[in-house]
Structure 1
Amino acid sequence: MTTAEGNTPDFTINVNWGYFGAGSAVMPGRGRPTGNNGLMEVYLNGTTYWHGVPTDVWEYTLGGYQVLKKWLSYRETAVLGRSLKPEEAREFMHIARRIASLLVLNEALDRNYRLI
């Protein structure tokens, strides 16, 4: 977790990761991911962001959904009704690490699956 100018992290998510659509369904928004050279900065708000999220981890989909983006959409402050707790912010990092591990194992997992 990185903050602008070394400030204390602000766990308010307010850069349009998610919003209520028709029938109170939570819809993913655009959020604020930025990146280059294979690494992303994923913003919670104007001052706090995760730095160095690998692009392939950020873009990983499961069941047609971009996993990390979907996770953030349900935690937008306007949707959740509160800011994230520090342990919830850590969970984002744990999920990103799990996805990275899956991506490393992907070829071996596919190879083993074909042997079944």
Structure 2
Amino acid sequence: MLGAYLKRIFDVTKHGDAREESYYSGLEELINNYAESSGKKKTHVTTLPEKTGRPAARFEGAGDNRVRRYRYSEHEQRVYINETQYFEGITQETWEYQIGGYQVLNKWLKDRKERILSLEDLQHYCRVVTALARTIQIQAEIARLYPQVEQDTLAVELSPKA
């Protein structure tokens, strides 16, 4: 029972999805299995709602986590950090997103060339991808709403004073 729970924790962590709420379902399963095996029939586990949502990217592949020759594959929506390991779920728009003239995801990897990425590094990159993807969504919504807001503002400013 505990071994299955620990394996689940390892699997979640390996994929760069290690938020507190990522472990809730596994913990709930462990508690329910324990309750059932000890004869307790009425067990109810309450978990908090997700705080951050699912990451937009996941880290996959076997290897040493060393950033060697990184590249973006538009067709696969992946950023490879070497021949066998990659972050998946990255749209071209997210990959190309720039702040201050720098392509954010590319620059992050460039600054870590030949470095072995830690679990914390992998999780951080997935969070950056998620933040950029959400930023793109918010900017699109602002762009959609702005013309009407601007028109309403101009109409108020141009209306005769009472």
- Specify if TM > 0.5: yes
Larger radius of gyration: 2
Aligned to 1:12: 66
Q: Report the count of equivalent residues.
A: 90
Q: Which amino acid aligns with 2:60?
A: T
Instruction: Structure 2: state its 5+ residue gaps.
Output: 1-58, 154-162
Question: Does 2:104 align with 1:33?
Answer: no
Q: Please say if residues 13 and 75 of structure 1, whose CA atoms lie closer than 8 Å, have aligned partners that are also in contact.
A: yes
The sequence identity of aligned pairs, in percent, is 28
Question: Does 2:94 align with 1:54?
Answer: no
Q: 1:51 deviation in Å?
A: 1.4
CA RMSD of aligned residues (A): 2.1
Q: Please say if residues 57 and 100 of structure 1, whose CA atoms lie closer than 8 Å, have aligned partners that are also in contact.
A: yes
Note the alpha carbon deviations across 1:45-99, whole angstroms, 9 max, x for none.
111101121111111011111110011100112xxxx411111011111001000
Q: Please say if residues 60 and 86 of structure 2, whose CA atoms lie closer than 8 Å, have aligned partners that are also in contact.
A: yes
Aligned to 2:109: 72
Q: Please say if residues 74 and 91 of structure 2, whose CA atoms lie closer than 8 Å, have aligned partners that are also in contact.
A: no
Structure 1 moving runs of 4+ over 2 Å: 107-115
Aligned to 2:80: 43
More strand by share: 1
Residue of 40, 44, 60 corresponding to 1:2: 60
Q: Which has the higher contact order (CA 8 A, sep 6+)?
A: 1
More helix by share: 2
User: So what's the TM-score if we normalise by structure 2?
Assistant: 0.50
Show the 5 A alignment for 1:76-91: 76-77=113-114, 82-91=115-124
Q: Which amino acid aligns with 1:65?
A: Y
In 1, the alpha carbon distance for the partners of 2:116 and 2:140 equals 38
